[in-house]
Amino acid sequence: MSTHDNTKLAATAAIAGGLGAALSYYLTNRKSSSSSAGASSRDRSSSFTNLNSRTSFIFQDPEYDIGTSAATTSNDTTVLMPHSHEERMRRRVAARMAVEEENSEPRQSVTVRVPASSANCGPGYDCIGLAVDLWTEVTVSRADKFEITAEGDGAAEMPKDASNLLVTGVKAAYDTAEKPMPPLKYHVVSRILFARGLGSPRAAIVAGGIIAGLVLAGHRLPVWGSESLLQIAATIEGHPDNVAPVIYGGFQIGIHNGTRWVTERVPCPPGTQLVMFIPDFIGKTSAARGVLSDTISRADAAFNIGRVAFLVHALAMGNLDNLKWGVQDRMHQPQRSEAMYQHLYPMIKGAEDAGACCAYLSGAGPTVMALTSGASGDIFTQREKERTDFSVAKAMMQVAQTFGVKGRIVVTQASQEGARVVKVDPPFSSEYITFRDNV
């Protein structure tokens, strides 16, 4: 080794030694200061526990506990990654030093718009759903006596007593607010066909009722780290595949993590449209679940796991060509096709042959949902040959006629927006701030 190399080696060793010493000194001092700060924080937190403050939390995941322990103080030096949205919000709330009451003024009347939903999306049984740009409106008002009125699709079949799930949702909201539910008048304008596999009436009514009840009661819920509205709705429903997209919009994946329901959005590729064949007959969820076995084979489980992964990847990457593989299923579609919907698989093939990216049984059926591409801007000013929705709709209707199934074709799109308040008395808007639609 040359003298020059020895000199370089010695210099490198000296620099490394200096950096090591500096790092040790820094860590020692930080540990000491953290101990002091932790003791001070504990002193402060003990005084906060004596505050007579009530929170509006109906659920709080221990992982995101925003109590007054030292673990939630500003001395938390955990590195936040760009995706750590819930952790950032947890720290903001914790930095308030005490959680304030989140109640607001009770309202006299509220109207909520709620989207339809398409659950399962093929292999995502009870865990994947899509918000559909078809809407139902529910209006709930304080009244002298209980009353339910309805108009539109399914109005005649809708229960007009306390068994209506709209009432269930409103009552759940008042129970959450720990307030007695007053006599209320309910009015539903339904534009979602009843019992056709589009999330009506259960998910739309439950979510709309909960939101309406919370507004009337003047009660607000936490979202970050708890998704409390989702907890109420999914607990009533039993699964999140419909209520998650109804609440948040878009494609949603929902699971129960052992402690609470959790959901995440999957991107919906731009330019996609929803072409659905909606039969004239209804499909009861109880009957559709009744034809399913309680067990499946390992091969079928592996098949569905792979298809769900493929579906999510295709949506996230915008790879429309892979959607037809991603929506394949062995858990519920074959059984329901054989027992209830003989038109299903011929219609799926007809839609895909005509240019659809994919097609599947929407929810428990009987609606068949196809996704198409090519839409840009207002479709009525766009040349039809740039899109495939018309040819797909025609092919699906031809299959329906072959099987003697009467129904209609509806063309719409995914809704990136979930349920929302569109009218309230008294309004939230004021002379200083105007919310959307002057709500």
Q: What is the pLDDT of residues 304-351, one digit of tens each?
A: 999 999 999 999 999 999 999 999 999 999 999 999 999 999 999 999
Alpha-helical segments (H) within 119-162: none
pTM higher than 0.75:
yes
Greater confidence (1 vs 367) lies with: 367
State the chain's maximal CA–CA distance in angstroms. 99
Q: Decide the pairing of beta strands 147-152 and 251-256.
A: unpaired
- Whole-number percent of the chain with pLDDT over 90: 53
Distance CA 158, CA 150 (A): 8
- Residue among 331, 337, 345, 336 nearest 300 (CA): 331
265: pLDDT strictly greater than 90: yes
Give the range among 246-250, 274-278, 335-339, 430-434 with minimum mean pLDDT. 430-434
423 bridge partner residues: 111
Identity (one letter) of the amino acid at 89?
A: M
Helices (H), 49-134: 85-94
Instruction: Give the β-pairing of 184-190 and 273-279.
Output: unpaired
Residue 288: partners with Cβ closer than 8 Å, 6 or more residues away: 332, 336, 340, 364, 365
- C-alpha torsion sign, points 209, 116, 203, 341: positive
Q: Give yes or no for a contact between 172 and 210, defined as CB atoms under 8 angstroms apart.
A: yes
Residue 237, both tokens: 């429903």
pLDDT at 410: 95
Say yes or no to pLDDT of 45 above 70.
no
* CA R_g for the chain: 27
What is the DSSP code string of 177-201?
Answer: HT-PPPPEEEEEEE-S-TTSSSSTT
* 3-class SS of residue 298: helix
When pLDDT is averaged across residues 240-257 and rounded to a whole number, the result is 94
pLDDT digits (tens, 9 = 90+) for 17-43: 565 555 555 555 554 554 454 444 444
Q: Specify the pLDDT at position 287.
A: 84
Can you tell me the distance from the alpha carbon of 234 to that of 275, in angstroms, rounded to the nearest whole number? 27
Q: Work out the pLDDT band at 397, boundaries 50, 70, 90.
A: very high
What are residue 112's DSSP bridge partners? 138, 421
Helices 389-402 and 344-353 sit at what angle, rounded to 10 degrees?
150
